[in-house]
Chains A and B, each alone.
Chain A
Amino acid sequence: MNSPIDSQSSIQSASTPVPVDHGRADIGPIWKPKSALERFHKVATFGSCFARHLGSALRERGYRWFDAEPAPDIFSPEIKAKYNFGVFSARTGEISTIAALRQWISWAIGTAAPADETWHEGSRFFDPFRSAIEPDGFAGPDELFASRDSALRALRKVVEQADYFVVTLSSTTAWIHSSKGHVYSNYPGTFARNIGSGDYCLKTFSLAEIGADMTWLIKTISGMNPKARFLFTVSAIPTTAAACESPPIVETPRSKDILRSAARIAADKHALADYFPSYEIITGVESGILRSPLLDDARPNPGAGFAIDHFFNNLNPNAAGTKVVIEPPMAGDSGGPDASDAKEFWWRVLKLRNDLRGIF
C-alpha cells in the first residue's frame, strides 16, 4: 500500500528539499489541473492581481483570452490601458471580493437590478462599483450608466460563452451599503468626495458567506453555460488599510487564509471548480523577492510572472491527469461563426492529423 506521501510523489516529494537558485526556486509541478485548458478554450478572467496578469499572459502564449468588451482597434495602446480595456474580460474593473463578483453577475444576467447610485467630484461622475474604470470619471449619470450597461452586456456574454472562469480573490472585506447591501469596489470617498447619504459600513465576509457566494457563482453560471469551468486563485497583494478593521499586518494573513480555505473547499466540493496556488507560489518560496510590492502591482511583477510561468508549465493535460474533458465548442454555437471559430476548427483538424500520425 502506498503511503499518503507516495501518492504525492509525482507532484512533490515531501522529503525533497526545494532547490533554490538565485532567490527563485524550482518548485516543480505543484498543481494538477482538473480540466484540460486548451488553446481553443475561451478563458475569462476577473478579480484582481493574478487574473489581470493572466489575461495578457494567455494572449502572449497563444491562448484564447475572452475579451468580451474590446476597445475599438483605432485607439492607441496607451488609451486602451488608460481606460482599462483588455484588463479583465469585461470592463468591470478590479473585483476584490466574491460578493462583488456575485453582484456583478446577478446584474448581468438580470436576477437583480443594477444600483442607480453615483458618486461625483465636481462636475465628474464616478461609478461606485468600478470607481477607477475611467480616470476622470463620466460627464454625467446617463453616460455612466450607458457605459456600465455595456460592461454588463459583455459580462452576460462571458457567462454564456466562456469555457473557463479564472477568478482571483483578494479580500474578505468590502464597503457595503448598510440598507441596500450593495458591495462597492473601493472605500467610498476614494475617487469622489460627494458620495450621497454616507450610509456605508465595512463588512467582513465569513468563510461560510464566501463559500456560499462561490457555490452560487458555480451553480448559476454552469446552469446557463454547462461547459463552464472555474479556477480560483488568491491574490498575494496585501490588504489595504481602508478595507480592513484590523491593521493590515494582522488582517492580511487572516483574510488570505480564509480566501484560500474557501477556494480549496470549493475546489474539493465542486467537480467544475479548481484552485491554483498562485498565492502559495508567490509568498511561499522567496517572500522577500517574489512578493509584489503593494503599490507596484499594475504591471507584471516577478512574483506574478513566476506564478504564471508555473500555471502554464502545469497545464499540459498529459502530465496533469485530466479528470474533466471539456468538449471544444462547435463553430457557430457561441454567437455565430467568426475568424476565431475558423482558426479553432483548423487547429483541431491539425491536432487530429498529428494524433493520427502518431497512431499509424
Chain B
Amino acid sequence: MTFGEYFERHPPWDPDLWIEIGPFNPCGADACRHLAMKVAIVGNSHLAALKLAVRHNGFSQERLDINFWGLPGPDFDSITYGAGVLQTPRKSFVLHISDGLYESLPVRDFDAIVLHGVALNVSDYLLSLRKASEHLRCYSSALLEDGLRSCIEKVPSWSLVRSLSAEFGGRLLMSAMPLSSEDGTKFKDIPVADDELPRLNDHIGTVLGKIGVEYVPQPPDTICEGKYTKRDYSIGSVRLAAKLCYKHPDDDYIHMNEQYGSLVLRAVGTRLSAPRCV
C-alpha cells in the first residue's frame, strides 16, 4: 500500500487512528530483522501492555522480530482463519495495531504465533476450582484436565486456536490473560496455597500441549498471594488503540501496564529460545 492510499483510507484528522510514525523495530536496525525469529503476537485488549513495553524499549530481544495484531474485547471473536491468513472485518483497526503493516495476518510469514490474553482466564479457573474445594489437590489430574478442556473449549476464540494449531507449521504459543490485580476483591476470603497456581498452570499446559500449543504462564514475579497480580503491574494500564495513550480507569483490575508487558515478552522470548516443548 502506498502512502497515498494509506492516507486516503485513514485520514489523519481522526485522532483515534493516529499511529506512531514508523513501525517499531526491536533490533534498532532493519539489517538484523531478517535474521531474527519472526513472531506475531495476536491478542485482545491485553496486547496493549506488551505493545507499550516494546515501544518504550522495555523489552529488547535481538533474536525476535515482534509484530502485533489483534482486536480488543468481543471484537476479537470476529477474527477468522482461512487459507493461511487471519482476517477480520475491522481491517483499519488491526492495520493500526500492527503499526500499518497488516490488514490481515499471513501466518505463514511467521516463525511463531503467540496468542496473548485470549481464551485462557486463569483467574476465573482458579476461583471456580477453589470455591468448590479446599485445595486443588482434591481434584484428580484427569478431572482437572478434562474439566479445564471442557471450559476452554467453550470460549469462542478456541476455534481459532484449533484452526491455527491444525494448520500452522511454526510454533504456536498461548499466554493467559493476567490474574486480576490485588486491589480487586475477586478472591475475598479464599486463600490460595503456594502450590495451587503452579498446579493449575501445569494442567493448562498439558491441555494445550495435547493440541500442539505451548503455554506461557504468567511470570511468577508478577504474582502475589498465589492468586493476584501485584498492584505495581496494574497501575497505568492503557487501552488497545492505535495510540496507546488512553488509560483504563483506576478500578480496572484486569489490565496491566508496560512493566507487566515486558515481563510477559521476556517469558515468551525465553520459551522461544528453548526447543519446542510439545
Contact = CB atoms under 8 A, between A and B. Distances in A.
Residues of B in contact with A, size category = 20 to 34
Contact of B138 (A74, A75, A82, A149): A149
Interface residues of A, number: 24
A136 B140 CA distance: 10
A78 B149 CA distance: 12
A78 B150 contact: yes
Interface string B122-143: 0011001101111101111111
Given A70-B132, A72-B132, A73-B128, A134 B151 contact: no
A72 B131 contact: yes
A8 interface: no
A88 to B, nearest CB: 16
Contact of B151 (A74, A136, A139, A153): A74
B147 A150 contact: no
B179 to A, nearest CB: 15
Contacts of B138: 146-147, 149-150
Interface in A172-229: none
A71 B129 CA distance: 8
Contacts of A359: none
Given A74-B128, A76-B150, A79-B150, A150 B134 contact: yes
A74 B134 contact: no
B34 interface: no
Contacts of B146: 79, 82-83
Given A72-B128, A76-B150, A79-B147, A136 B134 contact: no
A242 B227 CA distance: 49
Given A70-B132, A150-B133, A153-B134, A75 B140 contact: no
Nearest to A70: B132
Given A75-B147, A136-B142, A139-B142, 7 more contacts: A74-B128, A76-B147, A76-B154, A143-B140, A143-B141, A146-B138, A153-B134
B147 A147 contact: no
A69 B132 CA distance: 7
Contacts of A150: 133-134, 138
Nearest to A83: B143
A349 B143 CA distance: 41
18 contacts: A72-B131, A73-B128, A74-B129, A74-B151, A75-B147, A79-B147, A82-B146, A134-B140, A138-B140, A138-B142, A139-B141, A139-B142, A143-B137, A143-B140, A146-B135, A146-B137, A146-B138, A147-B140
Contact of A75 (B124, B131, B151): B151
- Smallest CB-CB A-B distances: 9 pairs: A76-B150, A150-B138, A75-B147, A74-B151, A74-B128, A72-B128, A72-B132, A146-B137, A79-B150
A200 to B, nearest CB: 25
Contacts of B128: 72-74
A75 B142 CA distance: 13
Interface in A130-144: 134-136, 138-139, 143-144
Interface in B100-146: 124-125, 128-129, 131-135, 137-143, 146
A254 B140 CA distance: 39
B156 to A, nearest CB: 15
